[in-house]
Amino acid sequence: MLIFIFHAVLIAVLSWCYHTILKDFLLSKWFSFGWQHFGKYEGTWKEYIYKPVWGCQYCTSGQLALWLYIFIYWCNYDLYYHIMFIAFTIFITKVIFSWIESPQ
């Protein structure tokens, strides 16, 4: 269970780094590409690609949790734990974003 929590926190921190630090420096062209090709088109199918990859930190952490759980725990797959892992990862992401971005 501890490794379960560790993986969720690790994904949440990775999502925070991706959307906060790397967005402005290393991956600025990647985020610019995403906005130009997918982000400008609200209400179309392109929005469903833009949000999980570039637009929403919670969507990104949820997608990472979805696919990494399958990759890591494919031998002992359990749907209940999979759903809880995704929800817990999104919750931890919300806690991290609120904690770091709140005024001190």
In angstroms, the CA 24 to CA 47 distance is: 21
How does pLDDT run across 54-84, given as a tens digit for each residue? 778 898 899 999 999 999 888 999 999 999 9
Domain ranges of the chain: 2-99
Q: Kindly state the percentage of the chain with pLDDT values over 90.
A: 38
Q: Which of 92, 43, 36, 42 is nearest to 64 (CA)?
A: 92
pTM of the model: 0.78
